[in-house]
């Protein structure tokens, strides 16, 4: 435990650092030279579709997988050379972590506290503190297998905090949760960050990265395709987005033809997303659609979202890329 304490006081610079981290499986490069740094009290979101290398990245930084290239450190300890010291300084939760379904909430937290070698009285106090802080009092003595998806995910997240580690890794912490559960987890991640924890989280949800992260990495096929703050990434799309919704789904194609080919960012059944530079462009686009005799249901001009950024950079929406991967996986 002394390592944790001294590290936190004396170590300047980033808590989590990755330099050209690489992982190969045979010919396939799963993680291709990722570099990033996360400071105290900040959140890094790694955003990308399934199969982009998000979970592998987490496993490399949490000593679950060996690096094939580059280096990484947590709290000043190299993940390859000092895995034990790294493990004393991290908490892991989410997709690749889990809890024991045959133990109660309290017993799970106590088990992980014991395995971090927290002494008895401190451990019991810490378990109580976390149960209160994260509103788990009413189901503290229930078996994990009887919890709802959201409650279970919360336990998983809290288990990562038992030793109050300076660095926490969350692998898709809200995947599969309902909107209410997602908001609750977001609050908890913000609370961690405010308490000074360096957080790396992976997500498929642009909104999640937008809401939580100080810095976002967009990765695709193991490599960074864009990085920056949410604002910076959105600024990459200087242009606004015009959404044109047609009245009849059958006329979507006619509207697309009326617009210059290849100008649409994305299209769904009735709505065309168009990147426009100035108000004049919007007006011209609307006029062309109108002249083609297409009846409009609605149109709106808006600032680009991270979704638009992702489409602009990778050429496909996050969800489409994710679905592709699920089919081939």
Partner 1 sequence: MTAMIDTLTIARRDLVRTARMPEQLTFSVILGIFFLLLFYYVFGGVIASGSGVDYLQFLVPGVLVITVVNGAQQTGSGLALDLSTGVVDRFRSLPMSQIAVIAGRTVADTLRNAVGALLVVVVAYLMGYRFDSLVGAVGMVALVVGLGYAFSWVGAWIGAVIRNAETVGLLSMFWLFPLMLASSAFVPTAGMHEFVRLFAEVQPISVVSDAARALAAGEAAESPLLASIAWIVGLSVVFAWLAGRAYRRV
Q: Which is nearer to partner 1, 188 or 240 (CB)?
A: 188
CA dihedral 181, 186, 191, 195 (to 10 degrees): 130
88 belongs to the binding site for partner 1 (CB under 8 A): yes
Q: How far apart are CA 299 and CA 96, in angstroms?
A: 42
Q: Please list every residue from 123 through 162 that binds partner 1, using CB under 8 A.
A: 143, 159
111 belongs to the binding site for partner 1 (CB under 8 A): yes
Q: Please list every residue from 44 through 83 that binds partner 1, using CB under 8 A.
A: 59, 62-65
The burial of 217, by beta-carbon neighbours within 10 Å (0-12 exposed, 13-18 middle, 19 or more buried), is given as buried
Q: Which is nearer to partner 1, 141 or 300 (CB)?
A: 141
| Secondary structure of 253-314 in HEC code, one letter for each residue | HHHHHHCCCCCEEEECCCEEEEEECCHHHHHHHHHHHHHCCCCEEEEEEECCCHHHHHHHHH
Taking the complex as a whole, how short is the minimal distance between the CB of residue 18 and partner 1, in angstroms?
16
Answer for which of 84, 194, 269, 291 binds partner 1 (CB under 8 A) is: 84
236 belongs to the binding site for partner 1 (CB under 8 A): no
Q: How far apart are CA 75 and CA 305, in angstroms?
A: 34
Answer for which of 6, 24, 25, 102 binds partner 1 (CB under 8 A) is: 102
Q: How far apart are CA 277 and CA 270, in angstroms?
A: 23
99 belongs to the binding site for partner 1 (CB under 8 A): yes
Answer for which of 90, 167, 189, 233 binds partner 1 (CB under 8 A) is: 90
| CB contact set of 324 (below 8 Å; sequence gap of 6+) | 49, 316
Taking the complex as a whole, how short is the minimal distance between the CB of residue 247 and partner 1, in angstroms?
49
Binding residues for partner 1, per CB under 8 A?
59, 62-65, 84, 87-88, 90-92, 96-103, 107, 111-112, 114-117, 143, 159
């Amino acid at each position: 435990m002394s390592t944790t304490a001294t590290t936190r006081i004396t170590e300047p610079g980033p808590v989590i650092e990755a330099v050209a981290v690489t992982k190969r499986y045979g010919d396939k490069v799963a993680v291709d030279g990722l570099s990033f740094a996360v400071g105290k009290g900040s959140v890094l979101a790694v955003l990308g579709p399934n199969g982009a290398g998000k979970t592998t990245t987490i496993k490399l930084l949490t000593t679950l997988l060996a690096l094939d290239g580059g280096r990484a450190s947590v709290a000043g300890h190299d993940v390859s050379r000092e895995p034990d010291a790294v493990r004393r300084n991290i908490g892991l939760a989410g997709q690749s972590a889990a809890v024991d379904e045959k133990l109660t909430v309290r017993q799970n937290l106590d088990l992980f506290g014991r395995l971090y070698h927290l002494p008895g009285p401190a451990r019991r106090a810490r378990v109580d503190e976390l149960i209160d802080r994260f509103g788990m009092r009413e189901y503290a003595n229930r078996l994990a297998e009887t919890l709802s998806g959201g409650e279970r995910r919360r336990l998983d997240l809290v288990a990562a905090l038992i030793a109050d580690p300076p660095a926490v890794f969350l692998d898709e912490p809200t995947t599969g949760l309902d909107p209410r559960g997602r908001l609750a987890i977001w609050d908890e991640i913000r609370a961690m960050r405010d308490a000074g924890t360096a957080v790396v989280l992976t997500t498929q949800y642009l909104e999640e990265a937008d809401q939580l992260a100080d810095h976002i990495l967009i990765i695709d096929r193991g490599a960074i395709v864009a990085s920056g703050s949410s604002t910076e990434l959105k600024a990459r799309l200087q242009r606004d987005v015009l959404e044109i919704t047609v009245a009849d789904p059958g006329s979507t194609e006619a509207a697309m033809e009326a617009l210059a080919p290849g100008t649409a960012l994305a299209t769904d059944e009735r709505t065309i997303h168009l990147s426009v530079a100035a108000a004049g462009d919007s007006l011209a686009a609307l006029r062309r659609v109108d002249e083609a005799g297409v009846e409009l249901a609605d149109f709106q001009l808006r600032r680009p979202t991270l979704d638009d950024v992702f489409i602009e950079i990778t050429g496909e929406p996050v969800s489409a890329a994710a679905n592709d991967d699920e089919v081939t996986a």
